[in-house]
């Protein structure tokens, strides 16, 4: 196992984490922006109004994208163990 393999593996791990978390982050960003615009137009400055819709939206995104995220993480783990087996075995 050389340093190039470890660096490539770390890069692949970061890419996988970003790919798996992107749907929830984008949905939270869009919902947060919409709530902020709503708060600015109505001048309602309630703190819970900013968090509750984002929590619900992220939970819905986890339910919607959960199988895809699980498949992505399982594929990464399979490739990780397969590559490690090649170097060890």
- Residue 6 has what pLDDT? 86
pLDDT single digits (tens) 59-74:
999 999 999 999 999 9
pTM summary value: 0.80
d(CA 68, CA 62): 10
The predicted structure's pLDDT at residue 74:
97
Domain ranges of the chain: 3-88
* Residue that has been written with the tokens 């087996």 in this structure: 85
Model pLDDT for residues 12-56, shown as the tens digit of each residue = 999 999 999 999 999 999 999 999 999 999 988 887 888 999 999
C-alpha to C-alpha distance for 49 and 79, rounded to whole angstroms: 42
């Amino acid at each position: 196992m050389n340093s190039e393999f470890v660096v490539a593996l770390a890069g692949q791990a970061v890419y996988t984490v970003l790919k798996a978390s992107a749907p929830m982050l984008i949905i939270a960003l869009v919902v947060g922006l919409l709530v902020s615009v709503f708060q600015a137009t109505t001048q309602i400055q309630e703190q819970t109004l900013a968090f509750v819709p984002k929590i619900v939206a992220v939970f819905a995104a986890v339910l919607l994208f959960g199988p895809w995220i699980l498949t992505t993480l399982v594929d990464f783990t399979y490739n990780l163990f397969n590559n490690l087996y090649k170097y060890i075995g």
